[in-house]
Amino acid sequence: MRVIFCGYREWALNIIDEIKEHHFIESYDVIKTKEEFEYQIPSLSGKVDFIILLGWSWLVSDVITEKYKCIGIHPSDLPNYRGGSPLQHQIIEGVTKSKISLISISRKIDGGDIWMKENFSLRGDNMKAVFNNLEEASVLLLNKFFDKKGAIVREKQNLSEGSYYKRRTPKESKIELSDFSNKSLSEMYDFIRSLTHPYPNAYIEDEYGNKLYFKEVSFKKNK
């Protein structure tokens, strides 16, 4: 089986390092930039069984998806939390147990057929811990996928169900002073931890425009 892996984020490259030696993968290439993708993919020669995109930020043209089997991992239980910032939106809304979804890449953002899913925990004091969970779940999922040699019955998504979110902006990281009285401590904890590195940190701002950022957070529950 020949596979092209596409990813550039640290967690994506960690997953690729773990999975690329699967015994059913006979050869592979790793593409890390948009420029590499646009240059190498159209000029591929020979058989390519799958192009796997992990945390890929750029749209893939119909010319590519119609010629090759392009699949990717989305960190939510699709069709829930399609679109941008799925990790942050889930954590902020109090989701702790989710799934990652292996899907076909299509013109509909996160709307392709579902190949497989795997359980995924959103717990952890910071996004590093969440990404560790994501890596473990993704390696498990991809190992199962390659064990089956990709011979899986795909399921079409019902896009009239579920939810779609836009990518969060840095301005949305602001904590209003009223939040300290209107939200519970656990809600504040989820908000802050979802915005730890590498995302724009949660912050409060005074009347002079001075900003206080929250880089780390922990929550101790009273027994």
Mean pLDDT throughout 17-32? 94
- What letters, b where the CB count within 10 A reaches 16 and e where it falls short, cover 148-157? eeeeeeeeeb
Mean pLDDT throughout 101-128? 95
Does the structure show a pLDDT above 90 at 217? yes
Does the structure show a pLDDT above 80 at 208? yes
Does the structure show a pLDDT above 80 at 134? yes
16-20, 62-66, 83-87, 115-119: lowest mean pLDDT where? 62-66
Residue 55 phi/psi, 5-degree rounding, is: 65, 30
The amino acid that residue 11 corresponds to is W
Task: Provide long-range contacts, Cβ within 8 A and 24+ apart, for 133-140.
Answer: 134/11, 134/75, 134/87, 134/100, 135/11, 135/14, 135/15, 135/18, 137/100, 138/15, 138/54, 138/73, 138/100, 139/15, 139/18, 139/19
Distance CA 196, CA 194 (A): 6
Mean pLDDT throughout 40-51? 87
Angle in degrees, 0-180, between the axes of helices 127-147 and 10-19, rounded to the nearest 10: 30
Half-sphere exposure of 154 (CA within 13 A, CB side): 16
Mean pLDDT throughout 140-168? 93
pLDDT value for 136: 97
pLDDT value for 150: 83
pLDDT value for 196: 97
pLDDT value for 45: 76
Average pLDDT, the chain: 94
In the chain, what are the domain boundaries?
A: 2-165, 170-214
CATH level 2 (architecture), domain 2-165: 3-Layer(aba) Sandwich (3.40)
Q: What is the pTM of this model?
A: 0.93
Mean pLDDT throughout 125-130? 97
Q: How would you classify the pairing of strands 202-205 and 211-214?
A: antiparallel
Percent of the chain clearing pLDDT 90 (strictly above): 85
Mean pLDDT throughout 192-208? 96
Does the structure show a pLDDT above 80 at 79? yes
pLDDT value for 48: 92
- Could you tell me how many residues make up the chain? 223
Mean pLDDT throughout 104-121? 94
87's tokens? 């990790």
User: Distances in Å between the alpha carbon of 81 and those of 7, 99, 137, 204?
Assistant: 21, 11, 18, 27
Placement of tokens 């089956």 in the chain: 148
Does the structure show a pLDDT above 80 at 223? no
pLDDT value for 221: 85
